[in-house]
Structure 1
């Protein structure tokens, strides 16, 4: 299983939110580039980066910083947050980002994500399924939609998207463990590369996800708060 240390960027800082709420923010560093270099030096094999300003505003304010991160390290970076145009996808890939993550735009138009996966390769495009209950959320998690998690996932997988990142918003940043029941349902779908996100509380959660056979897992607050170490991440992941 691939384990992705998370770097969330807001106003140029490395931060973590609780349940996606911008007003419930903790700052963990002032230099995302140095943070990326730190995790690589300690053994990370890949990173998960979110432009929170982009997620809430859709303007890609931190694109320059993310480009510097991609150049400063040799491990793959996946990036999400406000990627809602084909131009944005291309710009990130041209900056050296390995995989772009489409969220709100894919909810509004699954065809957009499906076409992007065909155009740029399924390994380089993921769709983020951020859920409140069984309903998919949008626009920095503050908006709702009529789409249900399982039917949305099935639509994407049937048409060529293979990497899905599932987050239970109620658990994100809460250190209460992922939504293993929903992970199991998604993991049973044919052809899925499932990345688990939200709620990881320590190494045992990561071990359980690995035993389930999921493709990847993201850890943010647990890593920054010392609930899981990079040594354990290297030991569990690949």
Structure 2
């Protein structure tokens, strides 16, 4: 299992939210590129980066920071947040991002994500499945949708999108443990590359996810708060 330290960027700062709410924000540093280099030097094999300004406002104002990350790092990064056009996908891939994450746009138009996977390769496109209960949420987790998680994921898998990043919004940033029940349901779907996100509280959670056979896991607050160490992450990855 690949473990992705998370770097969420808002207004040029490295931050974390609780349950995706802007009012529940903690700043962990003013140099996301420096933070990315720190995780790489300590053994991270990949990074998960989110442009929160893009997620909430629909356009990325932290693009240049992400470009600098691509230039400074040797490990792959995946990027999400406000990616709602083919131009945005192409721009990120051209600057050296390995995988682009489509969220709200994929919920509104699964065809958009399906075509992106066909155009750029399935490994370079992921869909962010952000859930409030059984329902997929959109636009920085503010809005609900009529899409059910399992139906949505099955539709994408059938048409060639295989990398899904599942987040239980109620657990994100809460250090309460992932939603293992839903992870098991998703992991059972044929051909899925499941990346678990939201709620990781310690190394035990990561080991349990690894034992389930999931493709990857994202850790944010647990890492920044010292609940899990990079040493533990490196051991679990091996």
Q: Same fold (TM over 0.5)?
A: yes
TM-score, normalising length: structure 1 = 1.00
Equivalent in the alignment of 1:217: 217
User: What stretches of structure 1 move > 4 A for 4+ residues in a row?
Assistant: none
1:81, 1:36 → 2: CA distance? 17
Could you say what secondary structure the match of 1:54 adopts? Answer: helix
C-alpha separation in 2, matches of 1:89 and 1:143: 23
User: d(CA) in 2 for partners of 1:157 and 1:185?
Assistant: 14
Work out the CA distance in 1 between the residues paired with 2:64 and 2:143.
27
2: CA distance, partners of 1:59 / 1:162: 25
5+ residue gaps, structure 1: none
Residues 125-151 of structure 1: per-residue CA shift (max 9 Å, x gap): 000000000000000000110000000
CA distance in 2, matches of 1:205, 1:60: 32
User: What corresponds to 2:27 in structure 1?
Assistant: 27
Q: CA RMSD in A?
A: 0.4
Alignment of 1:7 onto 2:7: yes
TM-score using structure 2 length: 1.00
Work out the CA distance in 2 between the residues paired with 1:70 and 1:35.
Answer: 13
How many residue pairs align between the two structures? 238
Q: Which SS does the other structure have where 1:194 is aligned? A: strand
Q: Aligned-pair distance for 1:237?
A: 1.2
SS at structure 1 position matched to 2:17: strand
Segments of structure 2 that go 5 or more residues without pairing to the other structure are none
Q: For each residue in 1:41-85, what CA deviation from the matched residue of structure 2 results, as whole angstroms up to 9, or x when unmatched?
A: 000000000000000001111111001001101000000000000
Q: Which residue of 2 is the match for residue 38 of structure 1?
A: 38
Return the alpha-carbon distance in structure 2 between the equivalents of residues 119 and 59 of structure 1: 22
CA deviation string 1:184-203 (max 9, x = no partner): 00000000000000000000
